[in-house]
């Protein structure tokens, strides 16, 4: 079926202008007055003999002038032939249906995905009526390599077929890379040889984040694909919804604020909430649940656009093992509900192991050694629960001690160890462990600086200087930074105790270096005194180092006789102890969880179960790994392991999941993981036409047509247009009219 349509039908009002040459012709015939003249009788007789030829010449010129006006009107109205094979081009209409999580945003009584489905059905109905013989495809953005409908012939029943398919599709909970989606769709469309043109229809919510980077530049992948479009045969039409609602208050993170989580010891949990909308958010409430039982509700203040706030709660896990924390808005405050909740899978330790290295154990019953008071402060016993398990070794045994099981190492008045031991301790901190230096008579400043300072590249926060202080005239300590993380919430208490109770008899000075980012926690005397407590981070693993210019015993101060000793020891542990990485158990919808198991202990079948009531349960099978490289001669090959790479895309739903590991002895070990929405999916602000025009190169803008609320008709594609024929006919007509008018006029 051959159909004719106009891309600019409103301009057809110019058709009556084709009568202008005729009117002029008629008026020219009437403007002359007949006056009899004898001499003209001979000319009239000659004209009567040539009247037929003259009339034909006039009508021919008049026809050319009339057609010129008609061709000009049609040219600006852009007629379009569709279907058939005479002049029209068979087109492949590829609908890329955005089924990502942002399409779940509510709009009236439906969501954006349902509206995109309606627009796709309307497009199918329109093509069935006007583009018989074309090709039609549907590809979901979440699975561009697996089209739901591909290269189907457009016929009268297309709308019915598309409607039936759309009813079976559901929106997912992942995001998309529009550049990669378009790349895959274009690659597949290029293999369809039946169509001369391809029209890509993006049925999406047109989020700014999908089109522009954070610095308002076109996304490189998408830019490359649009630049690669063949303008004569490819075009993109963006079919978007009329709604422009971008209000969104989201829970963007649930995290452990402290470095360690130990059974029986309070831990601080933090929940981050952000306003992604363009207007101020309404005040709301946040509910936090642990293991689906205890529930705490906290207020959320009004947030300005882009503002982020943190809600902190304190919770005590009474049992070690795997736990889950769920945080969510108590009531819905916007139309995008998916990011109102977030989960944290957290592993609670039975104890946090600490290694105290005693550099001067003492040789009399009155001399309790360097680590005695530290052990009492960290592991008080009785009803007091610190969650710390202390192990003491002499400095001479440090080289043979495996540091991997420990969260923190305290070097108390130790002489400089051998270089191999220094490297061992440095590797421990680089991997995230915590380290504390206590000074004393065994600490040689010069040798310590060579081994641990290393011109600012070593472990020490500051280089040690000379011994100062007078035992007969002790000085008070001064808390220089009471809001330092080492002090936690006890800054004011420590300020009082250090300023009034702690007396310094001797101390090693610590020299500040502006080129090394160390923070000073406490000083001797006052705010201008030499530092006596400093801290810095070391390495990329998050390791923390704390440096004391005094001893851990009572030789250089009365610190062990005060409550400040207990507070400082435990706060230093909370500040510097190894932070157990929770990232491997808390993933986004596009992440992959890797599980490695000993085949001698575990069976390969792993059961993953959603913790929500009625959630799905699936069993996955781990496979035995093989070494990628053959071991060298004389080197024992690593033992085989069972490895399970579980893609989060294989799980359905957001939330916490229990993992059951079966042992050969018939037991079951539990793990916990959380599957959360990526934070960037909360950014719902739509791309405006002005933002697109401003950011994208002008030569690429005509390759993309935006249609709001339409059926994705693909306007602006030039598909099946005959404007080139009309332009050529108009040009030839004007040339012919000019030539004939000149030729006839000479006669």
Q: What is the DSSP string of 585-604?
A: GEEETT-EEEEEE-TTTEEE
Check if the beta carbon of residue 409 is closer than 8 Å to that of residue 434.
yes
5 phi/psi in degrees, rounded to 5: -140, 165
Q: Per the structure block, which two tokens stand in for 742?
A: 């000149």
Query: What are phi and psi for residue 543, nearest 5 degrees?
Result: -65, 145
Whole-Å CA distances, 302 to 254, 269, 286, 353: 20, 21, 13, 43
pLDDT at 458 over 90: yes
Q: Comparing 316-330, 351-365, 694-708, which segment has the lowest mean pLDDT? A: 351-365
| Residue that wins the pLDDT comparison between 229 and 361 | 229
Mean pLDDT of 8-35: 64
Reported as a single tens digit per residue, the pLDDT across 640-661 is 889 999 999 999 899 999 999 9
Among 460, 488, 535, 481, which residue's Cα sits nearest to residue 259?
A: 488
705, exposed or middle or buried, with CB in 10 Å at 0-12, 13-18, 19+?
Answer: buried
pLDDT at 57 over 90: no
| 8 A C-beta contact, residue 563 and residue 496 | no
Q: Is the pLDDT of residue 353 over 70?
A: yes
Cross-strand partners of 315: 267
Judge contact between 263 and 350, C-beta under 8 A. Answer: yes
Q: What is the pLDDT of residue 186?
A: 96
Pairing between β-strand 408-412 and β-strand 352-358 as defined by DSSP bridges: parallel
533 phi and psi, to 5 degrees?
-140, 125
Pairing mode, strands 655-663 and 602-610? antiparallel
Report how far residue 695's alpha carbon sits from residue 683's, in angstroms, rounded to the nearest whole number.
19
Over the range 485-505, which residues count as b (16 or more CB within 10 Å of their CB) and which as e?
bbbbebbebbbebbeeebbbb
Burial (CB < 10 A; 0-12, 13-18, 19+), residue 77, is: buried
Q: What's the confidence (pLDDT) of residue 714?
A: 44
Q: What is the mean pLDDT of residues 393-417?
A: 95
Angstrom distances, CA of residue 132 to CA of 85, 129, 156, 197, 384: 11, 7, 8, 15, 82
Three-point CA angle 510, 511, 513, nearest 5°: 135
Residue 252 has pLDDT above 90, yes or no: yes
What average pLDDT does range 500-528 have in this prediction?
94
Rounded CA-CA distance 205/706 in Å is 11
What is the average pLDDT across 256-281? 94
Structure tokens at 127: 């093509």
Closest CA to 236 of 675, 592, 704: 704
Q: What is the pTM of this model?
A: 0.80
Taken in order of first residue, the domains within the chain and their CATH numbers are: 3-83+724-746 (no CATH), 91-244+686-719 (3.40.50.410), 249-345 (2.60.40.10), 352-576 (3.40.50.880), 583-625+639-679 (2.60.40.1930)
Range from 82-96, 136-150, 322-336, 577-591 carrying the lowest mean pLDDT: 82-96
6: which 2 tokens? 């106009």
Joined together, the tokens standing for residue 421 give 């031991």
688: phi > 0 → left, psi -120 to 50 → alpha, else beta; which? beta
Percent of the chain with pLDDT over 70: 83
Given a cut of 80, is residue 500 above it in pLDDT?
A: yes
Note the maximum CA span of the chain. Answer: 157
Closest C-alpha to 359, from 346, 372, 348, 347? 372
Residue 390 has what pLDDT?
95
Q: Which two tokens stand for residue 446?
A: 């010069």
- Are 513 and 456 spatial neighbours (Cβ–Cβ below 8 Å)? yes
Per the prediction, the chain carries an average pLDDT of 87
Cβ atoms of residues 471 and 465 within 8 Å: no
SS3 60: helix
Q: Check: CB of residue 526 under 8 Å from CB of residue 479.
A: no
pLDDT above 90 (res 86): no
- Name the residue among 657, 638, 648, 658 with its Cα closest to residue 598: 638
* pLDDT surpasses 60 at 731: yes
d(CA 366, CA 329): 59
Which token pair is 484?
A: 């330092």
| Residues facing 409 on adjacent strands | 355, 435
Which burial class, exposed, middle or buried, applies to 680 when counting CB atoms under 10 A from its CB (0-12, 13-18, 19+)?
middle
């Amino acid at each position: 079926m051959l159909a004719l349509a106009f891309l600019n039908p409103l301009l057809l009002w110019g058709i009556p202008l084709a009568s202008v040459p005729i009117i002029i012709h008629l008026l020219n015939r009437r403007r002359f007055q007949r006056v009899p003249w004898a001499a003209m009788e001979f000319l009239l007789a000659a004209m009567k003999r040539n009247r037929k030829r003259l009339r034909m010449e006039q009508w021919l010129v008049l026809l050319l002038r009339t057609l010129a006006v008609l061709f000009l009107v049609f040219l600006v109205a852009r007629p379009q032939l569709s279907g058939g094979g005479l002049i029209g081009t068979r087109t492949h209409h590829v609908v890329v249906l955005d089924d990502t999580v942002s399409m779940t945003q509510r709009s009236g009584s439906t969501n954006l995905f349902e509206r995109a489905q309606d627009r796709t059905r309307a497009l199918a109905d329109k093509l069935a009526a006007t583009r018989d013989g074309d090709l039609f495809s549907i590809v979901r953005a979440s699975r561009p390599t697996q089209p739901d409908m591909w290269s189907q012939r457009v016929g009268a029943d297309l709308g019915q077929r598309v409607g039936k398919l759309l009813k079976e599709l559901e929106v997912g909970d992942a995001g998309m890379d529009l550049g990669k989606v378009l790349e895959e769709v274009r690659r597949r469309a290029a293999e369809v040889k039946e169509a001369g043109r391809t029209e890509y229809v993006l049925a999406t919510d047109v989020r700014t984040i999908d089109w522009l980077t954070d610095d308002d530049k076109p996304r490189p992948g998408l830019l490359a694909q649009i630049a690669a479009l063949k303008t004569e045969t490819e075009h993109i039409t963006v079919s978007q919804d009329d709604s422009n609602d971008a209000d969104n208050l989201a829970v963007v993170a649930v995290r452990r604020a402290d470095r360690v989580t130990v059974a029986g010891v309070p831990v601080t949990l933090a929940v981050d909430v952000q306003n992604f909308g363009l207007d101020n958010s309404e005040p709301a409430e946040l509910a936090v649940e642990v293991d689906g039982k205890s529930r705490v509700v906290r207020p959320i203040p009004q947030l300005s656009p882009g503002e982020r706030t943190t809600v902190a709660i304190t919770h005590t896990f009474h049992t070690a093992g795997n736990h889950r924390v769920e945080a969510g808005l108590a009531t819905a405050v916007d139309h995008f509900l998916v990011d109102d909740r977030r989960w944290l899978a957290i592993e609670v330790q039975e104890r946090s192991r600490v290694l105290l290295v005693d550099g001067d154990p003492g040789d009399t019953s009155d001399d309790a050694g360097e680590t005695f008071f530290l052990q009492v402060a960290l592991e008080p016993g009785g009803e007091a629960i610190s969650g710390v398990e202390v192990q003491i070794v002499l400095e001479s045994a440090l080289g043979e001690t495996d540091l991997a099981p420990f969260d923190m190492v305290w070097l108390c008045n130790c002489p400089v160890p051998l270089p191999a031991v220094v490297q061992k301790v440095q590797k421990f901190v680089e991997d995230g462990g915590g380290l504390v230096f206590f000074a004393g008579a065994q600490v040689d400043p010069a040798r310590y600086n060579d081994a641990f300072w290393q011109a600012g590249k070593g472990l020490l926060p500051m280089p040690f200087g000379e011994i100062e202080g007078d035992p007969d005239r002790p000085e008070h300590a001064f808390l220089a930074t009471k809001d330092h993380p080492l002090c936690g919430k006890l800054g004011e208490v420590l300020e009082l105790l250090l300023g009034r109770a702690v007396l310094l008899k001797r101390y090693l000075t610590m020299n500040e270096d502006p080129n090394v980012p160390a923070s000073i926690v406490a000083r001797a005397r006052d705010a201008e005194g030499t530092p006596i407590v400093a801290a810095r981070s070391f390495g990329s693993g998050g390791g923390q180092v704390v440096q004391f210019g005094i001893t851990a015993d009572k030789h250089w101060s009365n610190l062990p006789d005060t409550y400040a000793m207990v507070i400082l020891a435990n706060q230093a542990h909370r500040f510097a102890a190894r932070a157990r990485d929770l990232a491997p158990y808390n993933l986004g919808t596009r992440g992959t969880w890797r599980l490695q198991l000993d085949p001698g202990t575990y069976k390969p079948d792993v059961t993953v179960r959603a913790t929500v009531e009625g959630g799905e349960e699936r069993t996955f099978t781990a496979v035995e790994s093989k070494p990628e490289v053959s071991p060298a001669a004389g080197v024992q090959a690593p033992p085989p392991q069972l490895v399970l790479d579980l893609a989060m895309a294989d799980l359905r739903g957001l939330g916490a999941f229990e993992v059951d590991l079966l042992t050969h002895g018939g037991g079951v070990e539990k793990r916990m993981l959380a599957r959360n929405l990526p934070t960037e999916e909360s950014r719902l602000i739509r791309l405006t036409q002005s933002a697109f025009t401003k950011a994208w190169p002008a030569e690429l803008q005509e390759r993309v047509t935006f249609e709001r609320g339409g059926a994705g008709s693909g306007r602006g594609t030039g598909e099946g247009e005959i404007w080139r024929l009309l332009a050529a006919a108009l040009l030839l007509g004007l040339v012919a009219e000019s030539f004939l008018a000149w030729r006839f006029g000479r006669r």
